Amino acid sequence: MNTTGDDGYFVEERSAETVIARMRDCDDPRLKEIMAVVTRKLHEAVKEIEPTEEEWMKAIHFLTEVGQICNEWRQEWILFSDILGVSMLVDAINHRKPSGASESTVLGPFHVADAPEMPMGANICLDGKGEDMLVTGRILDTDGVPVAGARIDVWQANDEGFYDVQQKGIQPDFNLRGVFITGDDGRYWFRAAKPKYYPIPDDGPVGQLLRAMGRHPYRPAHLHYIVSARGFTTLVTHIFDPDDPYIRSDAVFGVKESLLADFQRVEDAEKAGDLGFTGGWFWSVNHDFVLAR
């Protein structure tokens, strides 16, 4: 026996302790702490589940497939973390905001770093599909003062529920993406198409798991935002349509009450025409974001 009371031999009752004790020479205290917790919890789970060897092999095959389907545009590990609520938990732990500041949510896999900067008011819908939408709001600090020079990076799926990067060669490049910079009044506005609910990529092992668990793969309609400004914490968030059928069952648990926006149908042909919308009506959504220092 050594000083930890562990003799190095494996017995079921102290299985985790034996594995953890083997890290005695680890000189990275954070890694040691993380691996001790992971080992303890994993052994705890296996002891509670008591898997058959077939079940354990099924788990190993699942994890293998999760890795094998990953490529530049497909990150199945993140999807796995998302559908288990772990992405949102990591986000919550790392972005505890002062009261009054806008809340964050998942980034998702479809952000691109080089979306074009556009003049305020531009229409980011380049494929002409969907219902016209005007998006307006302000970027404020926690005292309600407008933030000038804030960078607003927005992106959304098209009317058929796909991001441009999922349909390269089908959608125009940078469809439904844009970067806007606020002036002194902190205001932003742009034109787009009303978002719709869409499934997260569900043709891989995570999709199979969702179905096996009796869960659907849908995310309620949303617009993605990254709002940044000098001297403030960058905000990664969405606004959601509260009337969406999946608003209370987001496949990745990204919805927070404060992120529900008010999408209003505006039946004003003149105003629609002034905005360059041809249908005689449009959706209007106004949402302010409050940045924390």
Site for ligand BEZ in 145-164 (CB under 6 A): none
221 counts as binding ligand BEZ under rule CB under 6 A: no
State the Cα–Cα distance between residues 225 and 107, nearest whole angstrom: 9
Residues 74, 46: Cα–Cα separation, whole Å: 30
Which lies closer to Fe ion via its Cβ, residue 108 or residue 130?
108
Q: According to the binding rule CB under 6 A, does residue 82 interact with ligand BEZ? A: yes
State how far the Cα of 77 lies from the Cα of 28, in Å rounded to an integer. Answer: 25
Contact between 244 and ligand BEZ per CB under 6 A: no
Which of 109, 146, 161, 242 touches ligand BEZ (CB under 6 A)? 109
Q: Are 123 and 180 in contact (CB under 8 A)?
A: no
Cα dihedral across residues 5, 10, 15, 17: positive or negative: positive
Site for ligand BEZ in 41-70 (CB under 6 A): none
How far is residue 240's CA from residue 212's CA, in Å, rounded to a whole number?
27
Q: What is the smallest separation between the CB atom of 107 and Fe ion, expressed in angstroms? A: 9
Q: Is 195 in the site for ligand BEZ (CB under 6 A)?
A: no
Token duo for residue 247: 């608003």
Q: What are phi and psi of 68, to 5 degrees?
A: -70, -25
Q: Tell me how far, at minimum, the Cβ of 83 lies from ligand BEZ, in Å.
A: 8
Among 108, 130, 195, 220, binds ligand BEZ (CB under 6 A): 108
Q: How far is the CB of 174 from ligand BEZ (least distance, A)?
A: 16
Is 106 among the residues that bind ligand BEZ (CB under 6 A)? yes
Answer whether 106's CB lies under 8 Å from 88's CB.
yes
Q: Which spans in the chain are helix H?
A: 15-21, 29-49, 53-68, 76-83, 86-94, 205-212, 269-274
From the CB of 286, what's the least distance to ligand BEZ, in Å? 22
Instruction: Dig out the tokens for 50 from the structure.
Output: 């008591």
Q: Does 219 bind ligand BEZ (CB under 6 A)?
A: yes
d(CA 101, CA 251): 25
Tell me how many residues contact ligand BEZ (CB under 6 A). 9
- The residue (of 108 and 137) whose beta carbon lies closer to Fe ion is 108
Q: Give the residue at shortest CB distance from ligand BEZ.
A: 108
Rule CB under 6 A: which residues touch ligand BEZ? 79, 82, 106, 108-110, 200, 219, 252
